[in-house]
């Protein structure tokens, strides 16, 4: 039974690849955490592409670091090693396990970094083979590879952030002509709560996203502040309350912050207008009012009987007079009637005379 138990325990032991690199020392409870690697061989070893990986599967990659023979190299971190114990594995560029650091809460260390003893230069030129004809070529300029700059002094700006989702995030843009690495930067809210950016690589003229959770206020107004490693404010924005929307983020367009459609890790979209489109008020068509044509009221004139005298009277009660007209006008109005009656009498007079003779 004991043999079986030993076999089971042995089967779970990690298999380490042969290498002269080993984890030599560490500090997990210091302000700047670090792991020291040692090269026990006399030959230099290039660690480019090697990486550390802890129990939470958080990876820290080693870029372009070379350790000389029988020398050590320090790798510093910000908030990576747990203070209450952790397991950190060292892998080479092929993913082979090289060494392992296991420590408990009681073994957690707080010590000053001893620094590196001898870091070698990485050769960049390949020797030209001998005894081979050298072709005559027109010389062309050798392209230079811009190195990655750690904590640049300019060219980094905050371009977008999402405070409303379950996984919150900020987007940073690198306007420099070279890749940069931000180490020990941080973001802070209006209540001085902090999220540390231990390490963030941003390619030249490109975007990078830093994610976090349960930090920014997603119901009330809050402020997002970006600091560099020297506690210098790089950018900030106080966003208002009442704008909760899981499909919109706060973006900077032409140095103006506004709500846009999500564009995480890419160029920002245009601002979304919060002002409703105004509906044009139709112009009222004024229908001209038709002035009713007023028919003149006919003036009814009482014709006098044949025995009535027409007197020149100025009284307004004269039935044949019109208000405001003189009696002379009335006489002129009766003249045609008198003429008609006179003509009728003349026409009828022969008939009357013949009847009188017959009688």
Q: 195-233, pLDDT tens digit by residue?
A: 999 999 999 999 999 999 888 988 889 999 999 999 999
Q: What is the mean pLDDT of residues 300-306?
A: 46
- 172: nearest Cα among 150, 156, 187: 156
Q: pTM (2 decimals)?
A: 0.39
Report pLDDT for 137. Answer: 56
Question: Which tokens is 280 given?
Answer: 């044009």
Give the per-residue SS3 of the chain: CHHHHHHHHHHCCCCCCCCCEEEEEEECCCCCEEEEEEECCCCCEECCCCEEECCCCCEEECCCCEECCCCEEEEEECCCCCCCEEEEEEECCCCCEEEEEEEECCCCCCCCCCCCCCECCCCCCCCCCCCCCCCCCCCCCCCCCCCCEECCCCCEEEEEEECCCCEEEEEEEECCCCCEEEEEEEEECCCCCEEEEEEEEECCCEEEEEEEECCCCCCCCEEEEEECCCCCEEEEEEECCCCCCCCEEEEEECCEEEEEECCCCCCCCCCCCCCCCCCCCCCCCCCCCCCCCCCCCCCCCCCCCCCCCCCCCCCCCCCCCCCCCCHHHHHHHHHHHHHHHHHHHHHHHHHHHHHHHHC
Pairing of the two strands 149-150 and 180-188: parallel
**pLDDT tens column, 307-335:** 444 344 444 444 444 444 444 444 456 77
More confident: 313 or 11 = 11
Angstrom distance (rounded) from CA 34 to CA 124: 28
Residue 202 Cα to chain centre, angstroms: 20
Higher-confidence residue of 305 and 139: namely 139
Percent pLDDT > 70 in the chain is 70
What is the topology classification, in CATH, of domain 149-261?
Immunoglobulin-like (2.60.40)
Give yes or no for residue 90 having a pLDDT over 60: yes
Residue 345 banded pLDDT, cuts 50, 70, 90: confident
Q: Which CATH architecture has domain 12-104?
A: Sandwich (2.60)
Which residue did the predictor score with more confidence, 231 or 120?
A: 231
First to last CA, the chain: 178
- Average pLDDT for residues 87-100, to the nearest whole number? 93
Q: What pLDDT is recorded for position 171? A: 96
Q: Output 262 or 116, whichever has higher pLDDT.
A: 262
DSSP lists the bridge partners of residue 199 as 183
pLDDT of residue 320: 45
Mean pLDDT of the chain: 78
CATH 2.60.40.1260 residue window(s) in the chain:
12-104
What is the tens place of the pLDDT at every residue in 158-195? 999 999 998 999 999 999 999 999 999 999 998 889 99
What count of Cα atoms within 13 Å lies in the side-chain half-sphere of residue 155?
A: 20
Q: d(Cα 175, Cα 144) in Å, to the nearest integer?
A: 19
**What pLDDT, on a 0 to 100 scale, did the predictor assign at position 158?**
94
Q: Residue range 44-67: average pLDDT?
A: 90
Q: Which of these, 205, 265, 63, lies nearest to 147 by C-alpha position?
A: 63
| Residue 253 tokens, joined | 């367009």
Percent residues over pLDDT 90 in the chain? 38
pLDDT in tens, 62-77: 987 889 889 999 999 8
């Amino acid at each position: 039974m004991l043999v079986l138990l030993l076999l089971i325990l042995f089967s779970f032991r990690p298999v380490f690849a042969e290498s002269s690199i080993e984890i030599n020392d560490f500090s997990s409870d210091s302000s700047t955490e670090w792991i020291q690697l040692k090269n026990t061989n006399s030959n230099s070893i290039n660690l480019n592409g090697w990486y550390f990986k802890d129990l939470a599967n958080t990876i820290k990659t080693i870029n372009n670091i070379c350790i000389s023979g029988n020398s050590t190299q320090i790798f510093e971190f910000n908030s990576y090693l747990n203070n209450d114990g952790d397991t950190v594995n060292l892998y080479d560029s092929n993913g082979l396990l090289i060494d392992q650091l296991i420590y408990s809460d009681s073994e957690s260390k707080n010590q000053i970094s001893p620094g590196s003893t001898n870091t070698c230069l990485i050769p960049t030129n390949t020797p030209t083979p001998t005894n081979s004809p050298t072709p005559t070529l027109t010389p062309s300029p050798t392209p230079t590879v811009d190195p990655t700059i750690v904590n640049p002094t300019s060219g980094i700006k905050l371009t977008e952030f999402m405070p409303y989702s379950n996984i919150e995030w900020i987007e940073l843009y690198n306007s420099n002509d070279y890749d940069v690495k931000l180490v020990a930067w941080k973001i802070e809210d209006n209540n001085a709560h902090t999220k540390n950016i231990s390490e963030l690589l941003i390619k030249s003229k490109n975007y990078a996203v830093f994610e976090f959770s349960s930090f920014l206020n997603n119901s009330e107004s809050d402020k997002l502040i970006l600091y560099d490693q020297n506690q210098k404010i790089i950018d900030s924005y106080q966003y208002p309350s009442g704008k909760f929307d899981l499909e919109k983020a706060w973006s900077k367009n032409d140095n103006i912050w506004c709500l846009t459609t999500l564009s995480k890790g890419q160029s920002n979209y245009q601002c979304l207008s919060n002002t409703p489109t105004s509906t044009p008020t139709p112009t009222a068509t004024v229908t001209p009012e038709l002035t009713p044509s007023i028919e003149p009221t006919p003036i009814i004139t009482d014709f006098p009987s044949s025995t009535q005298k027409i007197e020149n009277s100025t009284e307004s009660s004269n039935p044949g007079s019109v208000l405001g007209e003189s009696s002379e006008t009335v006489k002129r109005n009766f003249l045609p009637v008198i003429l008609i009656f006179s003509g009728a009498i003349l026409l009828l007079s022969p008939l009357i005379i013949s009847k009188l003779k017959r009688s």
